[in-house]
Amino acid sequence: MKLVVVESPAKAKTIEKYLGPGHRVLASYGHVRDLPAKDGSVDPDNGFAMEWESYADKARQLKAIADEAKGADTLILATDPDREGEAISWHVQEVLKKKKALPQDVQRVTFNAITKPAVLDAMAKPRDLDVDLIDAYRARRALDYLVGFTLSPVLWRKLPGAKSAGRVQSVALRLIVDREREIEIFKPQEYWSVAADMEQDGVPFAARLVRWKGEKIDRLTIGNQGDAEAAKKDVEAGRFAVASVETKPLTRNPPPPFTTSTLQQEAARKLGFSASHTMRVAQNLYEDGAITYMRTDGVQMDGSAISAARGAIANRYDGSYVPDKPRQYQTKAKNAQEAHEAIRPTDFSKDRVGSGDHARLYELIFKRALASQMASARLERTTVELTDGTGRHALRATGQVVLFPGYLALYEEGRDDEGDEDSKRLPRMGEGDAPAKKAVTAEQHFTQPPPRYSEASLVKKMEELGIGRPSTYASILQTLKDREYVTLEKNRFIPEESGRLVTSFLERFFERYVSYDYTAGLEESLDDISGGRAEWQKVLEAFWRDFKPKTVEVMEQKPSEVTAALDEFLGPYLFPDKGDGSDPRLCPACHAGRLSLRGGRFGAFIACSNYPECKFTRRFAQKGGGEDGGDAGPVNLGADPATGLEVTKRSGRFGPYVQLGDGKDAKRASIPKDVPGEDFGIDWALKLLSLPREVGAHPETGKPITASIGRYGPYLAHDGKYARLTSTNDVFETGMNAAVVKLAEAAAGGGRARGGAREPLQVFGPNPETGAEVKLMEGRFGPYVTDGTTNATLPKSMDPSALTLEAAVQLLAERAAKGPAKGKKKAAPKKAAAAKKPAAAKKPAAEKKPAAKKAPAKKKTAE
């Protein structure tokens, strides 16, 4: 018997069906071991020896694999065809070796698609484990561990509020922070454009001013309204005729099929997917056999796939859309271990697979791959220049005509920043023609700062710089979000205060290790290991030799010394020159003390040197120094008429708030963002302090309805039920009738009652074998089929609308063959019965505890 080990159960199920009798296919459910999240898991003094520990939640899978391996003649390791897949296979082999369950014959097979021909072909060509890939994995894992477990403690002790640092994570964060700094120092420049709305033979078009008073007009030439108005009058007064018409042919070639990074970029642009979501959906499509492997740097396609694509193009369009020769694309990636075949459909006859996000991503992959083998688009670009009688003023109109769409008939690549005036069509014109001038406009513009990074543009930038690798981009971006170093607003990354401070700390004390060139160079060294051109231990030694002493040096500094160094380093950003010769550090509250960076238990902030006499403070990431830039201490708003206690407005860690009285019994209330600052006074403060407000008794239950402001905003509450309000004003103005209606609407919109009957999405008819009616239903975890006895969930890549009775019956049969769901097994009573045995009872429980080690963190410490 041959035991085949793969990563996922979905993959295992499909492959076992392809291989047939004599094979047993089991899933490892991903990685089975990792470095424990504790000191000493990597020992630099002992050749970087690593202490691996199995995941506690993988014990059952490893036992099943070991039990089967003991009776197997051959072990076939069929995990994914990349570095991580090679590592999983190596870990499984090492675990079985320790358990003395490793068969004599161990084979490694890889396939780029989970289709029967690909799997059977791979099984016929086994190989040994790739030692170079395993070494590259060990080097990366050790590097990430050493950076994370050496640098993070330095951050925790020297920079309150910091959470972690990582080898690639910190460099990606620096990109985001650097872009934010560019935006902040950017000074917009005014400029004007002058354009004429023209018409020729009933066809309107626009022409912009490109020459004025004999001088060429660039974008920034006209810099004020006076010049713009003068230019506008000259254009209005002139009679413009066509001086030249220039037509140039243009050819646009299709982009290559997707790599991992280009798929993430395009899915972000066109579908709004995050990188991690794109990879999850692509993984499902791959495991269902719909697409080839989704972690790749390669742009080439297999010869048979190219032939299939050309055939599909000929069937869909006419012969002119198929180029004379197949298109061949070359991989530019340096790390050949990830340069597998490009991401493409496994079957070009299927233009649709699955439903929802799976269908949308598959369609994108299908169109891109098919378009890559289509004919080039042929266009014609026309430039028309019009001059007035003096020849001193000139207008220009540009346009583009698609003569033959080619691949554009199917697919056009997205862009991060849209806008192309050349794409407009122009009417036919010849020299001497004098189009009618309908209107002339002068528009004011301002230069714009560089845009913040989106997930697509950040992945693109990281790829350009050689930072990270395709398989790591999604996890890097997710880590930055999980650590709350960045936020996403309108799909753009904005660094948080903590992210900016961590980046500043690393730039000041570990500049080399967050530099783009160094990180890219280290990635190349790791690629050299995977290619057999470098030894993994020597690469680690070279890194550790400089890195360890640097961390020791910083750790020996006092927190106050670190803060002082950061204060000096960040001075130009925190206290920018005002341009009037005044001291940018002068305290705006007392006008005597000087501002500087301070460290506190909740992170860094700006404070006055005259503390405690002057209590002026400002948030770390709040640039400036004006009167409104900080908190000069409590502001007395007046006295509460009911208690006589003082009401003050204050600023805290989570923003402004009001306080009634002093001491630990003082009552506090946050000031919502939608309360206008100019109207805020004692009246608003007392209203906020009085919450919750009782609207009245509910007419049906007699229980009180209250209105208040919580963590997620304003709301109504009644008998354990809640309803959202739209604004702070609603908290104080909502009456009984409106409150009852809102609570009723919230209750009605809370979903179906548990156990409520659901209408089937489709009824297929009786099961041919049992006679029971087969239905398609919508469930909590997606669509499923049922015959009243067995429920079978549809694979994520299966389109529910395309499901047939035969397919539904097959799904039910496969589900029934597996037996009852795990949740229905009553294992607990059996364990209780076993505990009654005298032998087991005499064994002290304490002796068993060491075996139940805490599972190592599955997230990579510092990619």
> What three-state secondary structure class fits 17?
helix
Tell me which residue of 699, 655, 653, 648 sits closest to 673, measured CA to CA. Answer: 655
Tell me which residue of 398, 444, 449, 396 sits closest to 420, measured CA to CA. Answer: 398
CB-based contacts of 788: which residues, under 8 Å, 6+ apart?
772, 773
Backbone angles phi, psi at 125, to 5 degrees: -130, 65
Q: How would you class 90 by CB atoms within 10 Å of its CB: exposed for 0-12, middle for 13-18, buried for 19 or more?
A: buried
Contact 406, 375 (CB under 8 A): yes
Longest CA–CA separation in the chain, Å: 112
Question: Is the link from the previous residue into 829 a cis peptide, with omega within 30 of 0?
Answer: no
Q: How far apart are CA 116 and CA 24, in angstroms?
A: 16
Pairing of strands 74-77, 105-108: parallel
Q: How far apart are CA 19 and CA 237, in angstroms?
A: 82
Give the bridge partners for 716, in sequence order: 707, 723
Question: Is the link from the previous residue into 612 a cis peptide, with omega within 30 of 0?
Answer: yes
Exposure of 416 in the CB half-sphere (CA atoms within 13 A): 17
Tell me which residue of 605, 551, 619, 606 sits closest to 156, measured CA to CA. Answer: 551
Tokens linked to 73: 């003649």
How many CB atoms sit inside 10 A of residue 218's CB?
A: 9
Q: How far apart are CA 94 and CA 213, in angstroms?
A: 80
The amino acid present at 796, given as its one-letter code, is: K
Tell me the three-class secondary structure of 280-315, residue by residue.
HHHHHHHHCCCECCCCCCCCCCCHHHHHHHHHHHHH
Strand ordering across the sheet containing 603-608: 595-600, 603-608, 617-619
Sign of CA dihedral 828, 833, 837, 841: positive
Residue among 286, 293, 321, 407 flagged as catalytic: 293
Q: 7-10, long-range: CB within 8 Å, 24+ apart, which pairs?
A: 7/79, 7/80, 7/85, 7/88, 8/287, 10/284, 10/287, 10/288, 10/795
Q: How would you class 453 by CB atoms within 10 Å of its CB: exposed for 0-12, middle for 13-18, buried for 19 or more?
A: buried
Q: At what angle do helices 169-185 and 470-482 cross, to 10 degrees?
A: 70
Provide Rg for the chain, Cα atoms.
34
Catalytic residue list contains 293: yes
Pairing of strands 241-252, 53-54: unpaired
Q: How far apart are CA 225 and CA 720, in angstroms?
A: 62
Q: How far apart are CA 783 and CA 805, in angstroms?
A: 15
Contact 597, 476 (CB under 8 A): no
Tokens linked to 594: 């000087």
Q: How far apart are CA 113 and CA 121, in angstroms?
A: 11
Please give the C-alpha separations between residue 6 and each of 270, 844, 857, in angstroms, as whole numbers.
33, 39, 22
Tell me which residue of 86, 88, 76 sits closest to 32, measured CA to CA. Answer: 88
- Residues annotated as catalytic (active site), given as ranges: 293
